[in-house]
Amino acid sequence: MCRRKISQSLLACLLLTLASVFPVQASSTISPMAYEALTEVHELLQESQWQEAGERLDRMIQRFGREPYAQATAWQMRGYVFSELDQHDKALHAYEKALDTEALDTESSQQVLYNTAQLLLVLERSSEAVERIGKWLAEYADPTPTQQVQAAWIYLSAGYHRDAATLMQGAISRVDEPQQSWYQILVAALQATDDFRALEQWLPRAIKDYPEQKTFWMQLASVHLQQERHRRATATLAAAYHNGLLEDSSDLTYMAQLFLHAGVPHKAARVLREAMHKGTVEDTARHYEMLAEIWLRSREIGLAIHTYEQALKAGADHDVSLRLGRLLLQNEDHHAALPHLKTAAKSDKGRTRAEALLLLGMAAYSHGAVEEAQHAFVEARAYEEVRRQAENWLEYLKHPG
């Protein structure tokens, strides 16, 4: 939770309190001297002169001990000053002193009570914060949707996710146009409890109300994925994609992977290729490698070969040289496979080097370079994972046909 958010809430409370004080006549709830003192402190608060304001308030609390309303207001303002100075323990104490006077009107008292719940959260006294917000909420016979949201935020921050979700569902159901932040609080609460059924109910409504918010689309897709509903997840992100919401590199590569897992590799390749062409996804070795793998899954061998070549130009490692060499060999383009397999055979990785040497021997033999093939098989024999195959080839070369 952000201290700035709390401070803004407390400041709003103070401004309301002072606004209610100013119109009061000196002969009424507050004396002219107390009124003047509060006015001067108010001006200091507006100028963020916390130290001076605090000292004035301390003197006021001592001076106007027989004026409960002036004392309550001074304590309330003192709590705000302490909060601005990050002295949260003292802020909480000041607010509780304001409540102890029992001099505040109902609205101000409720606001101060809510502020104490916020401060208890800051002080990591979550159970007390929940108890305090429960007391705050109980004062309303029929809480408004906004009040339900205020309480839900405290419950969510304190880790009482189910209570937060219940309040948020009630608040959203009672208004025609829920705020975007209301949906965000609800979704956070439901995610914390893994309530996928409820998420599947509320996220589409959030998307309907705020279709331009990519986060809701991504969250709904994630819910489908967590339940292994890959096609639904893909359809959700496809809709977001066609609405122009997926513009980040990470979003587009994620989209491509979803298409791939959903069994539509051609769509995956199209998304990634278009993104790389536009420059949204950088033309790095990793992305070319990813695209090549997708082309392979699409059985587009020629495109896969071309994309692997682009990956190597972009700085791909020996493993990619091996994959390209293997693919060219399978495609019976032995001559083209040779240089890539020779490069892969220089790898520091034993497994990569072993397979590259074995395939190099096979490519060389098929290309008619028997001596080169024999040399490669001899080297490959040193690696246990391909030793038997290399020895079989060497035996064959001794007695060809």
What would the pLDDT profile of 100-148 be if each residue is shown by its tens digit? Answer: 999 998 999 999 999 999 999 999 999 999 999 999 999 999 999 999 9
Q: Which of 303, 301, 323 is nearest to 312 (CA)?
A: 323
Quickly count helices (H) and strands (E) in the chain: 22, 0
The mean pLDDT value of the chain amounts to: 90
Q: Average pLDDT for residues 295-319, to the nearest whole number?
A: 96
Alpha-carbon distance 142 to 137, whole Å? 9
Mapping DSSP to helix (H, G, I), strand (E, B) and coil, where does residue 26 land? coil
Mapping DSSP to helix (H, G, I), strand (E, B) and coil, where does residue 382 land? coil
Q: Average pLDDT for residues 28-51, to the nearest whole number?
A: 89
Whether the CB-CB separation of 91 and 79 falls below 8 Å is answered with yes
Alpha-carbon distance 73 to 342, whole Å? 83
The pLDDT-based confidence of 21 (bands split at 50, 70, 90) is: very low
Whether the CB-CB separation of 98 and 75 falls below 8 Å is answered with yes
The pLDDT-based confidence of 399 (bands split at 50, 70, 90) is: confident
Q: Which pTM was predicted?
A: 0.73
**Each residue's pLDDT tens digit, 191-204:** 999 999 999 999 99
Cα 316 to Cα 104, 205, 308, 321, 339: the distances in Å are: 71, 45, 9, 8, 15
Instruction: Answer whether residue 391 shows pLDDT above 50.
Output: yes
Instruction: Answer whether residue 384 shows pLDDT above 90.
Output: yes
| Number of Cβ within a 10 Å radius of residue 323 | 22
Instruction: Answer whether residue 216 shows pLDDT above 60.
Output: yes
Alpha-carbon distance 220 to 218, whole Å? 5
What percent of the chain clears pLDDT 90, i.e. is strictly above it? 85
What tokens does 230 get?
Answer: 């890959």
Q: Average pLDDT for residues 256-269, to the nearest whole number?
A: 91
Measure the N-to-C terminal CA separation of the chain; round to a whole number of Å: 78
| Rg value, the chain, Cα | 35
Instruction: Answer whether residue 22 shows pLDDT above 50.
Output: no
Whether the CB-CB separation of 197 and 214 falls below 8 Å is answered with no
Residue 401's pLDDT is 60
Q: Average pLDDT for residues 71-96, to the nearest whole number?
A: 95
Alpha-carbon distance 190 to 359, whole Å? 53
Q: Which of 189, 263, 197 is nearest to 227 (CA)?
A: 197
Q: Which of 41, 32, 52, 37 is nearest to 14 (CA)?
A: 41
The pLDDT-based confidence of 7 (bands split at 50, 70, 90) is: very low
Residue 10's pLDDT is 41
Instruction: Answer whether residue 19 shows pLDDT above 80.
Output: no
Whether the CB-CB separation of 254 and 240 falls below 8 Å is answered with no
Mapping DSSP to helix (H, G, I), strand (E, B) and coil, where does residue 338 land? helix
Residue 15's pLDDT is 40
- Tokens 């009424």, located at residue: 28
Q: Which of 99, 161, 122 is nearest to 9 (CA)?
A: 122
Instruction: Answer whether residue 6 shows pLDDT above 60.
Output: no
Residue 41's pLDDT is 93
Alpha-carbon distance 91 to 203, whole Å? 38
Question: Distance of alpha carbon 106 from its chain centroid, rounded?
Answer: 39
**Each residue's pLDDT tens digit, 273-294:** 999 999 999 999 999 999 999 9
**Each residue's pLDDT tens digit, 329-377:** 999 999 999 999 999 999 999 999 999 999 999 999 999 999 999 999 9
